Amino acid sequence: MEKVKLICFDLDDTLIREIHSVMLPCIINGKEKEHFFIQEQEEKGLINYISADYLRAELLLGLEESKIAHCFLDIVKPIKNIMNVVNVLHVHNIKSIVITVGPKQVAKVVCNIWGFDSYYGSEYEVVDGVFTGKILEYIGAEQKIECLKDFCNSNNIKPEECIAVGDGATDIPVFKYCAKSIAINSSPIVKESAMYTVDTDDLTDILKYIL
């Protein structure tokens, strides 16, 4: 592998746990029960994850986008030492980005809090600072690769210089695109698709596979 220039992180269950990026604004908007109902329908196989996300997006109707940043750290449960890892990567001239299926607006807050170089996520419609309940552009598994390619093309980075870190099925295509992959706190199926695996509550444990 060539010198590492970029680490691509998933968000839900990779950097934040239990409270996912779509669930967070639902909670802030007082729609936690409705969110759990949709989640139950998804878990029972009655709807797929994409349809579930469009239904969850409707629960954000009327939410002020600014409330996400104000409430984020009071609600989410991040893995330990995210900022420390980002800082160490920067010392080694390695960029770090977040790519999530969840709302781009939440990914932006994550980027600002912990110092990531960029972020990508599904484009939830916001008009005059308020969510409309619609998704303008959905980021699924294959679209994650397109997001990664966009950042790489803009920063003259090759796939051989990238490492992907994630936990879910939507990360597997990204694992295959990058030279190295790290499955963190993931299922057996995802672990089989990764070059390295780690179960931890401290993000610094991935550094041994990067530096």
Domain spans of the chain, in order of start: 6-17+78-209
**What mean pLDDT comes out for the span 165-171?**
95
Spatial neighbors of 101 by CB under 8 A, at least 6 apart, are 12, 49, 53, 121, 122, 138, 139, 140, 144, 170
Q: What percent of the chain has pLDDT over 70?
A: 100
pLDDT reported for residue 38: 97
Percent of the chain with pLDDT over 90: 97
Tell me, what's the pLDDT at 142? Answer: 86
Is the pLDDT at 1 greater than 90, yes or no?
Answer: no
How far is residue 53's CA from residue 60's CA, in Å, rounded to a whole number?
11
Q: Regarding beta strands 6-9 and 162-166, do their DSSP bridges make them parallel or antiparallel, or are they unpaired?
A: parallel
The pLDDT of residue 190 is above 90: yes
- pLDDT, tens digit, for every residue of 40-87? 999 999 999 899 999 999 999 999 999 999 999 999 999 999 999 999
Structure confidence by residue, pLDDT tens digits, 88-126: 999 999 999 999 999 999 999 999 999 999 999 999 999
pLDDT for position 16: 98
CATH code of the region 6-17+78-209: 3.40.50.1000
Q: How far is CA 77 from the centre of its chain?
A: 14
- 112 vs 115: CA distance, rounded Å: 6
Which pLDDT score is estimated for 136? 98
> Residue 2: its pLDDT value, please?
76
**Which among 206, 202, 205, 204 is positioned nearest to 78, based on CA atoms?**
202
Tell me the pLDDT of the chain averaged across its residues. 96
What predicted TM-score, i.e. pTM, was given to this entire model? 0.96
Give me the residue label for tokens 């997006």. Answer: 57
* 152-101-208 Cα angle (round to 5): 60
pLDDT at 120: 98
Q: What is the DSSP letter of 96?
A: E
